[in-house]
Amino acid sequence: MQPNEALLTVDDLCVEYRTPRGPVRAVDHVSFSIAHGEVFGLAGESGSGKSTIAHAIMRILHPPAVITGGHVNFSGDDVLEMDGDELARFRWRDVSMVFQSAMNALNPVMTIGEQICDVIQCHLRLSKADSMDKAAHLLDLVGIERSRLAAYPHQLSGGMRQRAVIAIALALNPPLMIMDEPTTALDVVVQKEILQQISDLKDKMGFSILFITHDMSLMVEFSDRIGIMYAGEIVETADAHDVFNNPQHPYTRGLMSSFPSLVGPKVKLTGIPGSPPDMGKPPSGCRFHPRCDQAMAICSLQRPALREVAPVHRAACHLYELTGVTPRTERGTL
Amino acid sequence: MIDLDDHPVVLEVRNLSKRFPVGGMFGKQQVHALNDVSFSIRVGEVVALVGESGSGKSTTARLIARLMQPSSGEILFKGKNMLKVEPRGASLGYRNRVQMIFQDPFSSLNPVHTIGHHIARPLLLHHKVQRRRDREGRINELLAKVGLNPPADFASKFPYQLSGGQRQRIAIARALAVDPEIILADEPISMLDVSIRIGVLNLLAQLKKDYGIGYLYITHDIASARYIGDKTMVMYAGHIVEGAESSELMEHPSHPYTQLLLSAVPNPHSLDQPTRLETRGEIPSLIDPPPGCPFAARCPHVKPICREVMPSTTMLSADHWVRCHLYGSDNSAAQPAA
């Protein structure tokens, strides 16, 4: 395992939804990379483009969504250039995906065992008995009793269904797993159990994770590195604890003062004024400027580039492009 | 912190229970959705009710709003047992003292009516204004109060033209229209974008300060309960298992379930010493549950008595109580729970 070499590189990715009212650019020049064994988190509000990126990497976008530019590179292969056969190998063997709603991800009229075997037999030449064996082993891994192979999804609780979906994602032992809000529909205790288990499995099997959520506390706790998205763009990337302790982009700072904490003194939080923009007509210049309390004249005219503000810490904000302006770094106690 | 103990109690519930029949035409089985729930809300007090989905939080709110009849128990409004005074359902008088805000602002507003119409309805139904001119003034006043400026613009808009946060503010303005003393807020921020949630919470807190409104704030997000709640109560499988002043509860959780819940909440402050869960399992079935404490099956400290008798309430301090056999005198004698 080479920790410094990227497993997945996304470069200048653009995705548009071609709507009757004109194209909506949901993902706009997004670049990031994920190293071997790393958990990279994409955080942002609903509609910021997180899931669209995940679908673009898997090449499962459907019209009217179209990839209009950029590159996705997985272990040296250009994913966006792959044809049908290559894609069939790439999906699940190289990258698997855990979808948000386990209820919709599982087929209600097939048993859990059949659904896991489906995946195994589709990609590997194994007999029915051997794949059932493997399925039973996968259930062991995610902490479900083997007897549940014969159960239908409706016989399982929400948490168990999500574990079954994770078992399917693990079936071919892929180097990268994309998890799109894997625990959003679950209660906190079950959420914690499942993430703990994923974390243990990751340590054991060494896969990387692209972790997508809107829950900032969860994101900071679970990820190694984080990209913060706003209106289709990545506005800041940094190590998880830097995003939490030393956020640089005004949007990230706002986000961090948007969720109350369980510890420390009670302070009044301010959140962020206004609402996320309509992606059909995004604001000019920096897309955050109408909500930004530090906006300057240039912010509505020119889009800031993502640039290094500290080692391994990048932010897209004009505050860091001008000399003589010291960005405000203090923020309320969380 | 202001001492709320001097404030008079507005709403009190005593031993509230709700059972739903299930299981075919004979309906022999019952879902024990709510069991023996008692608490009170004072003037200008926010009581937060936290728990997992299916624990009975919304049932509690719906019973108090009189959207359902309780199976047993009392709902006292300013000392009067409303179930005796108005046995067939709530009167207009009760409804304009107790209002509710629902979770989903996308389905709680009628898409074919303007915002102004939504606010005008309660004003008309509850005879709050007599003349048309006054009505418009009052609508604008309410919209400005919930931070929607300029109000006249918002009054003529339709729900689809507003964001989730703005819609929830409309729902709050609609509840305020009748000058309520109690607002039952059922997960008011869980459907909203992260960056605008805190604004809605701050608005609720401001209204509490300005009008002395008491809240039952229902949430699954225990950190937001600490942020806005003066008191917090924890609910598990239809029982309230612990209640205390909010910070006290988060700092000294006593019930094993509260401890589990708190250790499961993602907490970026504890990155250096990540917590691990010791308990496994999920909420038990509420259909004809076995006797005893509902948490017994998952509890790391379970004792034989826990499977036989529901623990009664033990006061740990003046404003911190718990229902658990680990505390108090329930330890030895097998007294039936009150």
Q: Which residue has the higher pLDDT, B274 or B228?
A: B228
Determine, for residues B261 and A188 on separate chains, whether the beta-carbon distance falls below 8 Å. Answer: yes
H or E element, residue B137: helix B132-145
The pLDDT of residue A151 is: 93
Q: Which residues of B touch A269 (CB under 8 A)?
A: 198, 202, 227
| Shortest alpha-carbon distance between residue A215 and chain B (Å) | 8
Closest partner residue to B266 among A217, A255, A260, by Cβ? A217
Q: Are B57 and B235 in contact (CB under 8 A)?
A: yes
Determine, for residues A255 and B196 on separate chains, whether the beta-carbon distance falls below 8 Å. Answer: no
Predicted confidence (pLDDT) at residue A56 exceeds the cutoff of 50: yes
Q: Which residues of B touch A266 (CB under 8 A)?
A: 226-227, 247
pLDDT digits (tens, 9 = 90+) for A282-332: 899 999 999 999 999 999 999 999 999 988 899 999 998 764 445 554 443
pLDDT digits (tens, 9 = 90+) for A208-242: 999 999 888 899 999 999 999 999 999 999 999 99
Determine, for residues B266 and A196 on separate chains, whether the beta-carbon distance falls below 8 Å. Answer: no
| Shortest alpha-carbon distance between residue A55 and chain B (Å) | 22
| Shortest alpha-carbon distance between residue A273 and chain B (Å) | 7
| Pair type for strands A77-78 and B182-186 | unpaired
The pLDDT of residue B313 is: 93
Q: Which residues of A touch B166 (CB under 8 A)?
A: 275
Whole-angstrom distance, CA of residue B239 vs CA of residue B236: 5
Determine, for residues B247 and A259 on separate chains, whether the beta-carbon distance falls below 8 Å. Answer: no
Lowest mean pLDDT among A3-7, A264-268, A329-333, B54-58: A329-333
Collapsed DSSP state (helix, strand, coil) of residue A206: coil
CA-nearest residue of chain B to A43? B194
Mean pLDDT over each residue of chain A, to the nearest integer: 89
The pLDDT of residue A320 is: 85
pLDDT digits (tens, 9 = 90+) for B286-334: 888 888 999 998 899 999 999 999 999 999 999 899 999 999 764 444 4
Annotate A81-104 with DSSP letters as a single string: G--HHHHHHHHHHTEEEE-S-HHH
Q: Are B192 and B162 in contact (CB under 8 A)?
A: no
Which residues, 6 or more positions from B240, have their beta carbon under 8 angstroms from its beta carbon? B37, B38, B39, B49, B233, B234, B323
Q: Which residue has the higher pLDDT, B25 or A135?
A: A135
Determine, for residues B277 and A193 on separate chains, whether the beta-carbon distance falls below 8 Å. Answer: yes
Q: Are A164 and A110 in contact (CB under 8 A)?
A: no
Predicted confidence (pLDDT) at residue B337 exceeds the cutoff of 60: no
Reported as a pLDDT band with limits 50, 70 and 90, residue B30 is confident
CA-nearest residue of chain B to A255? B195
Pair of tokens at residue B308: 């036989």
Predicted confidence (pLDDT) at residue A54 exceeds the cutoff of 80: yes
Reported as a pLDDT band with limits 50, 70 and 90, residue B5 is confident
Chain A residues with a Cβ under 8 Å from any Cβ in chain B: 45-46, 157, 159, 187-193, 196, 214-218, 220-222, 240-241, 244, 254-255, 257-264, 266, 268-273, 275-276, 334
pLDDT digits (tens, 9 = 90+) for A144-203: 999 999 999 999 888 889 999 999 999 999 999 999 988 887 888 888 888 989 999 999
Determine, for residues B197 and A271 on separate chains, whether the beta-carbon distance falls below 8 Å. Answer: yes
Q: Which residues of B touch A217 (CB under 8 A)?
A: 223, 265-268
Residue extents of the structural domains in chain A: 106-173
Closest partner residue to B195 among A45, A215, A262, by Cβ? A45
Percent of chain B with pLDDT strictly greater than 70: 92
The pLDDT of residue A43 is: 92
| Shortest alpha-carbon distance between residue B173 and chain A (Å) | 18
| Shortest alpha-carbon distance between residue B85 and chain A (Å) | 39
CA-nearest residue of chain A to B53? A187
Determine, for residues A261 and B52 on separate chains, whether the beta-carbon distance falls below 8 Å. Answer: no
Predicted confidence (pLDDT) at residue A258 exceeds the cutoff of 90: no
Q: Which residues of B touch A211 (CB under 8 A)?
A: none
pLDDT digits (tens, 9 = 90+) for B182-235: 999 999 998 888 888 999 999 999 999 999 999 999 999 999 999 999 999 999
Evaluate whether ipTM surpasses 0.90: no
Predicted confidence (pLDDT) at residue B23 exceeds the cutoff of 80: no
> What CA dihedral angle connects A62, A66, A71 and A73, to 10 degrees?
0
Determine, for residues A214 and B267 on separate chains, whether the beta-carbon distance falls below 8 Å. Answer: no
Reported as a pLDDT band with limits 50, 70 and 90, residue B27 is low
Encode chain B in three state secondary structure.
CCCHHHCCEEEEEEEEEEEEEECCCCCCEEEEEEEEEEEEEECCCEEEEEECCCCCHHHHHHHHCCCCCCCEEEEEECCEEHHHHCCCCCCHHHHCCEEEECCCCCCCCCCCCCHHHHHHHHHHHCCCCCCHHHHHHHHHHHHHHCCCCCHHHHHCCCHHHCCHHHHHHHHHHHHHCCCCCEEEEECCCCCCCHHHHHHHHHHHHHHHHHHCCEEEEEECCHHHHHHHCCEEEEEECCEEEEEEEHHHHHHCCCCHHHHHHHHHCCCHHHCCCCCCCCCCCCCCCCECCCCCCCCCCCCCCCCHHHHCCCCCCEEEECCEEECCCCCHHHHCCCCCCC
pLDDT digits (tens, 9 = 90+) for A272-291: 888 888 888 889 999 999 99
| Phi, psi of B272, rounded to the nearest 5 degrees | -75, -35
Collapsed DSSP state (helix, strand, coil) of residue B234: strand
Closest partner residue to B53 among A187, A241, A273, by Cβ? A187
DSSP state of A333: -
pLDDT digits (tens, 9 = 90+) for A108-134: 999 999 999 999 999 998 999 999 999
Of residues A65, A239, A115, A100, the one with CA closest to residue A178:
A100
Mean pLDDT of A19-30: 90
Probe site for chain A from B50, B163, B194, B265 (most A CB atoms < 10 A): B194
Reported as a pLDDT band with limits 50, 70 and 90, residue A5 is confident
The pLDDT of residue A324 is: 44
Reported as a pLDDT band with limits 50, 70 and 90, residue B130 is confident
Q: Edge to edge, what strands does the sheet with A313-316 contain?
A: A95-98, A176-180, A208-213, A39-43, A225-230, A233-239, A313-316, A306-310
Predicted confidence (pLDDT) at residue B272 exceeds the cutoff of 60: no
Mean pLDDT of B257-270: 85
